A and B are shown apart, each in its own frame.
Chain A
Amino acid sequence: EDQVTQSPEALRLQEGESSSLNCSYTVSGLRGLFWYRQDPGKGPEFLFTLYSAGEEKEKERLKATLTKKESFLHITAPKPEDSATYLCAVPSGGGADGLTFGKGTHLIIQP
């Protein structure tokens, strides 16, 4: 069974304090790993898609990396507006299945 595990569940950082979020996955035949950001009461906002081990993508203060077993979302010098829940997901099963999501990391950046 496909599994996605995110850690830590919650993370509180000071503004400017860099850190990394982890997403471990178990899936037969990775067909992409997706990172989303979700603000309370809103739908997930797409951040990155990674397809192969070694791939990296960057957007502003965020950088996502992928290995054969896990992905990291690195946050450099975060600001309070980066506070959100960060979700990772993988397509499950064969064919165009739905996404299997991790439970997310709730990130709080204190000014």
Chain B
Amino acid sequence: KAGVTQTPRYLIKTRGQQVTLSCSPISGHRSVSWYQQTPGQGLQFLFEYFSETQRNKGNFPGRFSGRQFSNSRSEMNVSTLELGDSALYLCASSLGQTGDTQYFGPGTRLTVL
């Protein structure tokens, strides 16, 4: 079974630009969660989508948004990029029930200059 895939793997943007990241979950998984990982803050939850609906959201500004398509693929968008948005962005998929294991993709390394 193929794992979680994320594209692109690396991105370099400048301040003020916007960026869209993509995530394809494991086949059959309906939940996709997004996380930001930085050396200082560690892994932090951004939001979760289940059946095309945002089910939960972490404590991030509105510049961070996402969506999920009918095939469970998900995209995350960050508008008006700031230097502090430089991070490894990870998505994880699961079946979507409470306590289900989340399986992570390889991540997208975003660098904001």
Same complex origin of A and B: yes
With A96-B96, A98-B47 given, is the CB distance from A42 to B56 under 8 Å? Answer: no
Which B residues touch A87, using CB under 8 A?
43
Q: List which B6-58 residues lie within 8 A (CB) of chain A.
A: 6, 31, 33, 35, 42-48, 50, 55-56, 58
Classify the secondary structure of B's interface with A.
strand
Contact residue range for chain B?
Answer: 20 to 34
Whether A31 pairs with B90 at a CB distance below 8 angstroms is no
A78 within 8 A of B: no
Q: Which of A4-55 contact B (CB under 8 A)?
A: 31-32, 34, 36, 41-46, 49, 51
Measured CB to CB, the residues of A under 8 A from B are 31-32, 34, 36, 41-46, 49, 51, 87, 89, 91-93, 95-104
Known: A31-B98, A101-B44. 12 other contacts (CB 8 A): A31-B99, A34-B101, A34-B102, A42-B107, A49-B101, A51-B99, A92-B45, A96-B50, A96-B97, A98-B56, A99-B33, A101-B43
Q: Could you list 12 examples of A-B contacts with CB < 8 Å?
A: A42-B106, A43-B6, A43-B107, A46-B102, A49-B99, A93-B56, A96-B50, A96-B56, A96-B98, A98-B47, A98-B56, A99-B35
